[in-house]
């Protein structure tokens, strides 16, 4: 009996058989693979300070598409501002509030600067947070403004319990990695909320946070008293229509 040596999908791609390459790209979700490559933003503007509803009013924001939120900033070279120095900006940890001449990945995956730096042109190299989007893929001023609800066709509408917690459906519970926006549609204080780093309990008024275990969303109970919230999330790859590229590349190529 002749046995064939094991060939992974990665090895099959390297072999570049024209009879199987199209199938391999479809299995891997080739568009998702390309989207996850490092992104070079040239001449990016932080916009008007406080204009992004998901951020603190003191910050300027480079709003990123929901399928290309930032995981890590590798380099940021600022070439034009209204007041601050030019050159290489210091990269702060995820979720940190940047000071002057600093840049950070915001809790919702956007890129933020101190608003008073008035950054109008920056070259930014960053790594994309890879996952499946539950929400609005096409971003615009409407989807990221105080007036815009999470209007994507796959945005999740959740009930908020008496503890100020909105539990995710079982299909996504524990798999959420990033809360990109949260719009309270029923309660005492409605509208888009400022996104905080993951939390273990209720948050301050007008704020929202993914729970640290990724099972739901924490909101403010005492003042906002929400009963319903619409959220956009990034969840594990493969949890919602995408591909777990790492697992597929290690798997056998004979399945194509």
What pLDDT digit, counting tens, does each position of 191-202 carry?
999 999 999 999
**Span between the terminal Cα atoms of the chain, in Å:** 23
What pLDDT digit, counting tens, does each position of 160-192 carry?
999 999 999 998 999 999 999 999 999 999 999
What is the number of alpha carbons within 13 Å of residue 157 lying toward its C-beta?
8
Tens-level pLDDT at each residue, the chain (256 residues): 455 566 676 666 666 667 776 776 676 666 666 767 899 999 999 989 989 999 999 999 999 998 899 999 999 999 999 988 999 999 999 999 999 999 999 999 999 999 999 999 999 999 999 888 888 654 444 444 433 333 344 789 999 999 999 999 998 999 999 999 999 999 999 999 999 999 999 999 999 999 999 999 999 999 999 999 999 999 988 765 556 666 666 666 655 5
**Exposure class string for 159-184: b at 16+ Cβ within 10 A, else e:** ebeeebbbebeeebeebbbbbbbbbb
**Contacting residues for 134 by C-beta, under 8 A, at least 6 apart:** 154, 155, 156, 172, 231, 232, 233, 234, 235, 240
Sign of the CA dihedral running 136, 196, 122, 148: positive
């Amino acid at each position: 009996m002749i046995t064939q040596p094991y060939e992974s999908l990665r090895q099959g791609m390297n072999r570049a058989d024209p009879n199987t390459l199209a199938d391999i790209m479809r299995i891997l979700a080739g568009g998702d693979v390309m989207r996850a490559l490092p992104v070079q933003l040239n001449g990016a503007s932080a916009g008007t300070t406080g204009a992004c509803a998901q951020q603190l009013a003191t910050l300027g924001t480079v709003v990123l598409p929901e399928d290309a939120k930032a995981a890590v900033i590798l380099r940021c070279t600022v070439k034009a501002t209204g007041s601050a120095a030019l050159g290489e900006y210091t990269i702060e940890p995820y979720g940190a509030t940047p000071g002057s001449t600093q840049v950070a990945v915001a809790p919702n995956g956007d890129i933020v600067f101190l608003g008073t730096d008035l950054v109008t042109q920056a070259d930014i190299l960053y790594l994309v947070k890879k996952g499946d989007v539950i929400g609005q893929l096409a971003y615009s001023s409407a989807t990221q403004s105080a007036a815009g609800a999470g209007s994507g066709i796959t945005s999740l509408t959740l009930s908020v319990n008496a503890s100020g917690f909105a539990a995710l459906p079982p299909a996504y519970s524990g798999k959420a990695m990033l809360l990109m926006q949260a719009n309270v549609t029923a309660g005492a204080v409605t509208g888009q909320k400022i996104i905080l780093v993951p939390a273990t309990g209720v948050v301050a008024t007008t704020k929202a946070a993914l729970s640290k275990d990724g099972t739901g969303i924490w909101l403010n109970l005492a003042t906002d008293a929400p009963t319903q919230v619409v959220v956009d999330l990034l969840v594990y790859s493969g949890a919602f229509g995408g591909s777990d590229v790492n697992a597929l590349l290690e798997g056998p190529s004979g399945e194509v």
